[in-house]
Structures are given as C-alpha cells and as structure tokens.
C-alpha cells in the first residue's frame, strides 16, 4: 500500500490544533500511530494506494481489491479514499475505473474530532485483556484493558468499557475511565478524575478533580485541578466548531474539546463544547474558554 498526500497545507489548517508540525499519520490512535493502523488495514500490494488522510476499514479495502483494477474507493460523501492501478488512477474519470462506495466507517480525515471516531472503532473492538503493567486488586474493571509496561492502576480506579493505557503511566487513585479511551505513554491520570471516550497524548497529565469527555488532548499537556470540559448542548443538537472562520457541524452530539501539544490550563478552567486550544497556549485560574485560543 502506498500513501499519497492531498493538499497538505489545507489539511493542516483544518486539523488545527493537531498535526501542525507532524504528518497526520503521527496522531495517537488506540495505542499506536495512525499510520500503523492504516498499514495494518491495507492489503500488502504495490498496486494499492490511499490518501495520507484517509481512514479505511479492512472490509472496505477488501471490497476495493476484489473489484477489477483499476478501481476507486470513494466515501459516502464522494471523496476519493483509495484506488488500485497506476498512481494516476485517482484522477481517472468514472468510465475508466470501477467505482466502489465505502461504508460510513471509512472516510477522509478532515477535522480533528474525527480522530475520536477512529479511536472508538478500534478500542471498542478489544476482546481480551493484556496487563503488562500492575493492576491493584482494589481496582474494578468492567471491560477490556491493555496496560503497558511500567504502568500502574491504583486502588479505587473504576474502568467501564475498553481502555488502552501506554507505558509508564500512573492511573489513580480513585479515578473513573469509561467509553473507548486511549491514554498515551508517560501519562498521569489522578485523584477523582473522569476520562470518557477520549484520547490523551503522550506525557500529558490530568492530575485531579477534572473531567475530560469526548475530546482529544495532545502530548505534554497539563490540566490544572478542576479543569472541566463540557460535551453536551442543552438542546441536544450536534456541536459546531469554528474552522476557517466558519462554524462547522461536527456531526457529534457529544463533543468536548481539542487540545494541542504543550497546553496548560489553570485551576478551575471550564471549556465550552467544541472549543480548541492551540499548541503551548494556557488559561488563567477560574477561566472560561468560550472561543478557540490560538
């Protein structure tokens, strides 16, 4: 499988505050880099090609390669995701190639909240536990967990659903992890913290008395005590987020925030749904994030 870039400058802007100085494939998803999952799903064929920012399930890859070559795999929105044949096949007219429509589970990654959807797909499919680290007998786990080397789950931790925790992490005491959550290497999730259906990047700390829901947190971020992300509108409709100066429908009824690398929040920070904090930004104590911070 070969990766191809597509308008990388536009992609970088739409994925802000993530993937600003690195390739899209470097994003942490379910304990690995996105590109590792892309390569694992794709067929081992030099005749298969995909866009760098395309997420394609194994089932949709199989449908594509089973079609006569050249063939093009398109999302339900009509965007090209992958193709077989020569490199120029993606620009071929429909009459020159077999067109295959992917399921809704395969799509072009255009916005940072779509990483949550990919993480949900992979983590929710876990079916076994893999404890390399240490789990306290006073912890309660109802789901499947992957726990990396050197990591510790302390007393009072409750896990509901499937969770992937990297290496050298400290989780607890008395915190609550639920949904399909990924925690990177070297993280600290502390006292009375709740993490729900989120991605926490490498080296980040959510130390105590905080809530992170349906969010993506970059690497080396630090949440001050009592930092709360809101993830549900009062009217129950989809969240919207500002992209390129326009409010964009995220398609998500539950959506918290997107936090870039190196962000620090002050104690008792409240973050409105759909807001984004740029890399290395910060908030003051008792602050309310009503708009994106760059």
Domain range for 73 is 2-110
Residue from 208, 234, 239, 264 carrying the catalytic annotation: 208
Q: Are 96 and 141 members of one domain?
A: no
Q: What is the DSSP letter of 237?
A: P
Residue 116 lies in a domain: no
Residue 41: closest CA among 111, 102, 112: 102
Number of domains in the chain: 2
Rounded-to-integer distance, Cα 128 and Cα 207, Å: 28
Annotated catalytic, 4? no
pTM above 0.85, yes or no: yes
pLDDT tens digits, the chain, 294 residues: what are they? 676 655 444 455 789 999 777 889 999 999 999 999 999 999 987 789 999 999 999 999 999 999 998 999 999 999 999 999 876 666 655 567 899 999 999 999 999 999 999 999 999 999 999 999 999 999 999 999 999 999 999 999 999 999 999 999 999 999 999 999 999 999 999 999 999 999 999 999 999 999 999 999 999 999 999 999 999 999 989 999 999 899 999 999 999 999 999 999 999 999 999 999 999 999 999 999 999 999
Q: Which tokens is 240 given? A: 């919207």
Contact 108, 149 (CB under 8 A): no
Say how many Å lie between the first and final Cα of the chain, rounded.
36
- Asked if 1 and 45 touch (Cβ cutoff 8 Å), the reply is yes
Is residue 254 a contact partner of residue 178, using CB atoms and an 8 Å limit?
Answer: no
**How many angstroms separate the CA atoms of 8 and 10, rounded?**
6
- Per DSSP, 232 falls in state B
Q: Is 119 inside any structural domain?
A: no
Residue 163 is assigned to a structural domain of this protein:
yes
Beta carbons within 10 angstroms of residue 188's beta carbon: 20
Residues 147, 105 share a domain:
no
């Amino acid at each position: 499988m070969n990766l191809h870039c597509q308008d990388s400058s536009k992609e970088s802007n739409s994925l802000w505050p993530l993937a600003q100085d690195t390739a899209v494939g470097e994003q942490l998803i379910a304990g690995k880099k996105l590109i590792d999952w892309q390569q694992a799903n794709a067929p081992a064929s030099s005749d298969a090609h995909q866009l760098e920012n395309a997420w394609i399930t194994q089932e949709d890859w199989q449908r594509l390669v089973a079609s006569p070559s050249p063939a093009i795999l398109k999302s339900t929105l009509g965007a090209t995701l992958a193709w077989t044949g020569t490199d120029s096949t993606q620009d071929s007219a429909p009459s020159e190639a077999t067109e295959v429509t992917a399921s809704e589970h395969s799509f072009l990654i255009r916005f940072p909240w779509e990483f949550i959807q990919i993480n949900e797909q992979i983590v929710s499919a876990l079916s076994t536990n893999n404890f390399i680290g240490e789990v306290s007998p006073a912890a309660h786990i109802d789901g499947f967990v992957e726990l990396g080397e050197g990591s510790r789950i302390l007393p009072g931790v409750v896990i509901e659903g499937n969770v992937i925790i990297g290496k050298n992490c400290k989780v607890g005491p008395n915190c609550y992890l639920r949904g399909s959550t990924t925690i990177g290497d070297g993280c600290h999730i502390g006292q009375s913290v709740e993490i729900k259906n989120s991605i926490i990047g490498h080296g980040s700390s959510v130390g105590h008395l905080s809530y992170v829901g349906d969010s993506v947190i970059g690497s080396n971020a630090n949440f001050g005590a009592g930092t709360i992300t809101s993830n549900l509108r009062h009217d129950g409709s989809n969240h919207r987020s500002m992209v390129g100066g326009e409010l964009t429908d995220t398609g998500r009824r539950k959506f918290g925030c997107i936090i870039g690398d190196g962000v620090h929040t002050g104690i008792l920070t409240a973050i409105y749904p759909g807001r984004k904090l740029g890399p290395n930004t910060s908030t003051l104590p008792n602050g309310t994030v009503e708009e994106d911070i760059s």
